[in-house]
Structure 1
């Protein structure tokens, strides 16, 4: 009965979650419009930063991540350490495959196929470089930055195992601290590439560390003083809309800050989006197929594939701005990553949910229970066979 009450309390998607794609496009348009109408306000907000990490966006991302973190049963995270296949899969994809496929795809499309449409040069650190080369640099910065923030939202919406997702995020955060600079230096073929370590470390702390600490401590306090039932029946009822709302506000701010770049370069935006779109889908499909081959349960396979496919665009944008300048082609390419990331990842989340039957299921691991599994669980319970699924 207790398990049934818990699934009933948190089993369905909210109004915001059901129509998230619609809200995303509305907020993108709103952000670009606000940036055009009130450029001074957008510039002032964007200037509020520490080591190039935007504090308004960081605050929004905290409120996006905290509701997800507090829902995680951290005993699942401990169990995830004992089943390392999903973590190893994301490490291989993020550091041994994804950076190099990004270079190949970007060079093919931006460096060759679309090169006639990307004429012009720009000055970067006193050196004249082609716009196409600058765009390629931006895509590389995206390709070597595995997502450590918003992917928790995608794993949650796909009915994934947030314990495993959390472990994958933590491991990727640590590896990024050590691999981002040398891999970027090598792939960009620039011996003097200076990656802002403070930006990466502070980003990891803000986007993962703070909401994780707040989630663990508040969950423990509530369970101790108010009990599990109050947490699930009362606390989560008011907390659920916060994560989605914070995501939408984040999008408004991002596109208010960078909307000028997008509006002034519509054709280039489209051309940059092509290799980024193909890269994301390729890595997702490779990861998803590998998870199927490894016989991972769906609750582990979906977030593993989504972690591999998504990018840490906050770090990529900050790094591009520091290295090449706010109005550089590299910065524009990273902004295009933001433009397509959310709608594309939502599409992949939906693909995961529609193909969940390809995998064996362990629905008890999901922080957001799958309504289809809940219905099956209830049917099995009524038949007297509700011990497992």
Structure 2
């Protein structure tokens, strides 16, 4: 698939973003090596904890979440909420179909691996708030619509994540007669994790934007401050992955096919959610930019939050945490590929009435 639009996608990604799968793989390798070299690492990390999470990991998770939430334009919530052709499908896809599909795929592909299965369910509940804005920009999506949907998902996760987690992990398996191997997950355990690892950075991100724009204006905030703090999300993610794989080195080395088994339902999930959402947007009469935004915000997941909740609820050395870490390893290259598919799909949409689809601004895709 070639052409001027697709040829410019990779160069517009920053070096950090373009090589993210490489950094994740390198962090995994570094973690495995560190676990072998430092036998008492787990005990050392467990000495100081925050809500059951070791302090270094907790700090890494908070650093990982904060820059993402500082990018959201919270003052544009009303812009998209009036467009029911976009808002209603987005809410249904993100909070009804997406979690249900991941639940079904997790049970279908991992019936004998309850820890990994639970980790995938948590990934399905953690709706997109992060790098989806990058993929949306590159694919010619509606940037403002994406920012508003990201903001809505951020707020909605604080309210709904704990209840949905309890429902999908404890209640629904019992209703369906599925063996959940005596999993005991309380609403409070999940809510506590969400309030700490999403609530704190959400408040910090909101205050950063509000005070930063008030002091120096939006242009300075988005052109100067955001590029400075943005890379820290990746640094926090890589640090967390190093520690997780250091703690899980023995389990991974003894069962190398587990990562592949976790990856397969993720691949199916991303493909079905993206293609189905794009088709739904076309059927609902959305133009290409907004249909693209609908597809990427429905297919993407907030793997930062999924990792944080899995660690806080089940422990850093759990299979649930490993499943969360595999998420970005699979999601990043898949969604980059779907950027090209989205650009090619323009031919199936009618041209915009007012103006042609605006090209993605040149320069860094981080916004």
The answer to whether structure 1 residue 239 and structure 2 residue 229 are counterparts is yes
2:298 alignment partner in structure 1: 305
SS at match of 2:230: helix
How far the C-alpha of 1:165 sits from its partner, in A, is 1.2
1:143 alignment partner in structure 2: 121
* C-alpha distance in structure 2 between counterparts of 1:240 and 1:75, whole Å: 20
1:244-263 alignment runs, 5 A limit? 244-263=234-253
200 and 286 in structure 1: CA distance in 2 versus 1, 3 angstrom threshold:
same
86 and 226 in structure 1: CA distance in 2 versus 1, 3 angstrom threshold:
same
Q: Is the 8 A contact 1:27 1:248 kept in 2?
A: yes
1:228 to 218, 222, 237: 218
2:45 alignment partner in structure 1: 45
1:217 alignment partner in structure 2: 207
How far the C-alpha of 1:51 sits from its partner, in A, is 3.2
How far the C-alpha of 1:167 sits from its partner, in A, is 0.6
1:349 alignment partner in structure 2: 335
1:119 alignment partner in structure 2: none
337 and 226 in structure 1: CA distance in 2 versus 1, 3 angstrom threshold:
same
* C-alpha distance in structure 2 between counterparts of 1:71 and 1:107, whole Å: 35
153 and 250 in structure 1: CA distance in 2 versus 1, 3 angstrom threshold:
farther
1:338 to 312, 320, 324: 324
Q: Is the 8 A contact 1:61 1:207 kept in 2?
A: yes
* C-alpha distance in structure 2 between counterparts of 1:251 and 1:151, whole Å: 19
* C-alpha distance in structure 1 between counterparts of 2:218 and 2:132, whole Å: 25
The answer to whether structure 1 residue 183 and structure 2 residue 168 are counterparts is yes
2:308 alignment partner in structure 1: 314
1:24 alignment partner in structure 2: 24
1:384 alignment partner in structure 2: none
- The number of aligned residues is 328
182 and 374 in structure 1: CA distance in 2 versus 1, 3 angstrom threshold:
closer
How far the C-alpha of 1:78 sits from its partner, in A, is 3.0
* C-alpha distance in structure 2 between counterparts of 1:21 and 1:167, whole Å: 28
Q: Is the 8 A contact 1:65 1:149 kept in 2?
A: no
* C-alpha distance in structure 1 between counterparts of 2:322 and 2:333, whole Å: 17
352 and 75 in structure 1: CA distance in 2 versus 1, 3 angstrom threshold:
farther
How far the C-alpha of 1:217 sits from its partner, in A, is 1.6
172 and 235 in structure 1: CA distance in 2 versus 1, 3 angstrom threshold:
closer
* C-alpha distance in structure 2 between counterparts of 1:51 and 1:371, whole Å: 46
SS at match of 1:230: helix
What's the TM-score, normalizing by structure 1?
0.70
How far the C-alpha of 1:264 sits from its partner, in A, is 2.0
* C-alpha distance in structure 1 between counterparts of 2:240 and 2:116, whole Å: 21
* C-alpha distance in structure 2 between counterparts of 1:350 and 1:136, whole Å: 30
* C-alpha distance in structure 2 between counterparts of 1:264 and 1:152, whole Å: 33
- Range moving further from structure 2, 266-275 or 167-176: 266-275
SS at match of 1:312: helix
Structure with larger Rg: 1
283 and 75 in structure 1: CA distance in 2 versus 1, 3 angstrom threshold:
same
How far the C-alpha of 1:262 sits from its partner, in A, is 1.2
1:108-127 alignment runs, 5 A limit? 108-111=108-111
* C-alpha distance in structure 2 between counterparts of 1:293 and 1:105, whole Å: 25
- Range moving further from structure 2, 176-185 or 81-90: 81-90
Q: Is the 8 A contact 1:90 1:307 kept in 2?
A: no
* C-alpha distance in structure 1 between counterparts of 2:165 and 2:336, whole Å: 30
170 and 146 in structure 1: CA distance in 2 versus 1, 3 angstrom threshold:
farther
1:281 alignment partner in structure 2: 271
Q: Is the 8 A contact 1:67 1:242 kept in 2?
A: yes
How far the C-alpha of 1:346 sits from its partner, in A, is 0.6
SS at match of 1:152: coil
The answer to whether structure 1 residue 67 and structure 2 residue 67 are counterparts is yes
